[in-house]
Amino acid sequence: MKLARHIVVLGTVLALAACTNPGRFGADGLGGFGSGAAGQSGAGDPGDPGSAAYFQQAVGDRVLFLVDQSTLTSEAQFVLDGQASWLLSNPDYRVLIEGHADEQGTREYNLALGARRANAAREYLLSKGVPAARLETVSFGKERPLEVCSNESCYAKNRRAVTVLTAGLSS
Amino acid sequence: MMIRTVLIALTLMVGLAVPLKAQSQGPLRIEITEGVIEPLPFAIPAFEAENGAASDVARQLSALIAADLIGTGLFREIPASAFIAAPQRFDLPVQYADWKAINAQALITGSAALSGNSLTVKFRLYDVFSGAELGNGLQFKGTPEGWRRIGHKVADAVYARITGEGPYFDSRVVFVSETGPKDARSKRLAIMDYDGANVSFLTGGEDIVLAPRFSPAADRVLYTSYASGFPRIYMLDVGSNKRQVLDSQDGTMSFAPRFAPDGRTIVYSLARGGNTDIFTMDLQSGQSRRLTSSPSIETAPSFAPDGASIVFESDRSGSQQLYIMSASGGEARRISHGAGRYGTPVWSPRGDLVAFTKQNKGRFHIGVMRTDGSEERLLTASFLDEGPTWSPNGRVIMFHRETQGAAGRSALYSVDISGRNLRAVRTPEGGSDPSWSPVQN
């Protein structure tokens, strides 16, 4: 048992070092960066609690933010609690957290705002015990909206941080 | 890349043997600062072809010169159908009465000769109501492929002479060419003449690219690309199309780069741990230096033309506002004080103004203010106007405008700093993030 755990840790480190542009599972697959709508199928059987599809659909892969904010709402914290416990029980996965903004902002500022949002999610997962080595962040600013209408109903869905599972040991 | 090769041979030769007859003393002067501009009527008969081979290009040249002048909003062309003068031979004296009669205040005449790989263009500018030539005639030589540049040089000379402003037509714009819907937009770096001609693409559209910026000599371009999966700053050599990544620390993102006026230093922002600050980098040593270190967002830096100061945006006050600090960092003073949010500041080449994007009550504006924050003026308003860049003479601002909704599309526009003369800039696809070069040599 002890030996097996060591191997897992070592394997994770190797995978990290080898992986510069991680393959991704789940909603963002072909549809672009974290752009998949909820319900779109992730990898694997959503009935299997260890699958990427389960993570995406049952746990929830994204949290939403208020206008120009990066504070985690209680709803967001609830989703991230679920993500943290799933990641702790599925240690093969690493994640890339994508921060996004709605179109109501200038390009550079929105990149910085997306970085803040991704980092807020990362810090929360860290505080719940997910190792830093498994958490990467990136911001897309307003470059990859999920919804394309120009009103609050769409903006609310675009102000998001999406936790995208990336290749771990199993890949 | 053909971009640079075409026009290297362009040379400006000393004037013709015609002596200077009179200084500009008559009414032929546009003061752009006046409140209302009545466009100055001018006539430009088709340039005379000195040989048969030049007949096409002679006609094209006069049309291009007219288009440049009309595009400023300061000039109005009198159509050839109104001319009563006999076709003007370039070498013969002007019959001023014929041009006065149709109220042409300025008259531009020219000729073109084409032999082998050499195009020679001569022109003269007359103040019709003073009955005098303005300055000396000028002659330009170049390759036939470079005819547009020669035309822009002629138009620049006319424009500068009559307005007293610096030239700007012989310049280029690097921008992001966009296709596809909002949620899957493809972006390519592209470069073109200021008027939308001679477009060529510098990247292929497989990666998101953002906000290209010309070097002071327009020989290099800084931009942000997601080629690595993360935003990183790249520098591209325009002549060779070779590119290099400038900053690639793990766990960081770098973006919003701009050159310093010396061309050897860049300023940019770097996000680490969710916090974005401003840095400079010496291009030769690769050494970077932190200029800001607050937990707020500091980004979109732009150097003053003297290189001593940097204007940037920060939300340290709680909302996005404009600040100026020394080029070595330290204390910053806030310059934006109106209602709303201010971003993307760009220092004018003349040093007197800062252009910016303002967001207020759900609308976006391009505006200018003095560097002490006074005399703020909004030049445009729309659902989304963003990303101003200055013409080389500091008179005109180009920016991009995105329309709303699912079918929203981005396009380039220009506007005079008076707020007049808003015009769409012709591009083959959608366009965003323009950066205007200096006038070419």
pLDDT tens digits, one per residue of B303-361: 999 999 999 999 999 999 999 999 999 999 999 999 999 999 999 999 999 999 999 99
> CA of B218 to nearest chain A CA: how many angstroms apart?
23
Whether B269 and chain A come into contact, CB under 8 Å, resolves to yes
User: What's the confidence (pLDDT) of residue B87?
Assistant: 78
pLDDT tens-place string over residues B405-430: 999 999 999 999 999 999 999 999 99
Does residue B11 carry a pLDDT above 70? no
For residue B29, name the pLDDT band (cuts at 50, 70, 90).
confident
How many CA atoms lie within 13 Å of B320's alpha carbon, on the beta-carbon side?
A: 26
Q: Would you list the DSSP string of A3-14?
A: HHHHHHHHHHHH
What domain range includes position B27? Answer: 5-163
Residues B46 and B72 in one domain: yes
Bridge partners, B236 (sequence order): B221, B243
> If you classify domain A2-166 with CATH, what class do you get?
alpha beta
B269 to A40, B67, B214, B252, B291: CA distances (angstroms): 36, 39, 17, 10, 10
pLDDT tens-place string over residues B136-155: 889 999 999 999 999 999 99
User: What's the confidence (pLDDT) of residue B32?
Assistant: 59
Residues B349 and B244 in one domain: yes
- CA dist B253 and B258 (Å) reads 16
pLDDT tens-place string over residues B261-278: 999 999 999 999 999 999
Residues B262 and B365 in one domain: yes
Last residue of a domain, one of B163, B193, B227: B163
Residues B84 and B220 in one domain: no
Q: Cβ contacts (< 8 Å) between A153 and chain B: which residues? A: none
Residues B318 and B345 in one domain: yes
Q: Tokens for B317? A: 């006050």
Residues B140 and B229 in one domain: no
For residue B22, name the pLDDT band (cuts at 50, 70, 90).
very low
Q: Tokens for B384? A: 């989304």
Is B85 domain-assigned?
Answer: yes
> CA of A1 to nearest chain B CA: how many angstroms apart?
33
Window 370-399 of B, Cβ < 8 Å to A? 383-384, 386-387
For residue A40, name the pLDDT band (cuts at 50, 70, 90).
very low
Does residue B184 carry a pLDDT above 70? yes
> CA of B174 to nearest chain A CA: how many angstroms apart?
17
Residues B337 and B411 in one domain: yes
Window 339-358 of B, Cβ < 8 Å to A? 343-344, 357
Q: How many CB atoms lie within 10 A of CB A73?
A: 13
Does residue B66 carry a pLDDT above 60? yes
Last residue of a domain, one of B128, B146, B163: B163
User: What's the confidence (pLDDT) of residue B136?
Assistant: 83
- Residue B194 sits in a domain of what CATH number? 2.120.10.30
Which of A104, A107, A150 lies closest to B210 in CB terms?
A107
Residues B296 and B320 in one domain: yes
Residues B115 and B223 in one domain: no
Residues B223 and B122 in one domain: no
Is B216 domain-assigned?
Answer: yes
Task: Strand A94-100: give its sheet, edge to edge.
Answer: A62-64, A160-166, A94-100, A135-141
Q: Would you list the DSSP string of A63-123?
A: EE--TT--PPPHHHHHHHHHHHHHHHH-TT-EEEEEEE--SSS-HHHHHHHHHHHHHHHHH
The total number of structural domains that make up chain B = 2
Whether B2 and chain A come into contact, CB under 8 Å, resolves to no
Whether B296 and chain A come into contact, CB under 8 Å, resolves to no
User: What's the confidence (pLDDT) of residue A121?
Assistant: 98
- Residue B100 sits in a domain of what CATH number? 3.40.50.10070
The residue-averaged pLDDT of B105-120 equals: 96
Residue contact B229–A138, C-beta within 8 A = yes
Residues B185 and B107 in one domain: no
Q: Cβ contacts (< 8 Å) between A137 and chain B: which residues? A: 251, 274
- CA dist A65 and A72 (Å) reads 7
Which of B183, B359, B386 lies closest to A107 in CB terms?
B386
> CA of A76 to nearest chain B CA: how many angstroms apart?
17
Does residue B114 carry a pLDDT above 90? yes
pLDDT tens-place string over residues B351-397: 999 999 999 999 999 999 999 999 999 999 999 999 999 999 999 99
Does residue B40 carry a pLDDT above 90? yes
User: What's the confidence (pLDDT) of residue A152?
Assistant: 95
User: What's the confidence (pLDDT) of residue A129?
Assistant: 97
Angle subtended at Cα A105 by Cα A100 and Cα A110, rounded to the nearest 5 degrees: 40
- CA dist B269 and B258 (Å) reads 10
Which of B274, B362, B387 lies closest to A115 in CB terms?
B274
Residues B133 and B180 in one domain: no
Is B441 domain-assigned?
Answer: no
Which of B276, B387, B406 lies closest to A149 in CB terms?
B406
Residue-range domain boundaries for chain A:
2-166
Q: Cβ contacts (< 8 Å) between A32 and chain B: which residues? A: 183-184
Task: Strand B321-326: give its sheet, edge to edge.
Answer: B298-303, B309-314, B321-326, B329-334
User: What's the confidence (pLDDT) of residue B26?
Assistant: 53
The whole-chain average pLDDT of chain A stands at 81
> CA of B346 to nearest chain A CA: how many angstroms apart?
13
Q: Is the ipTM of this complex over 0.85?
A: yes
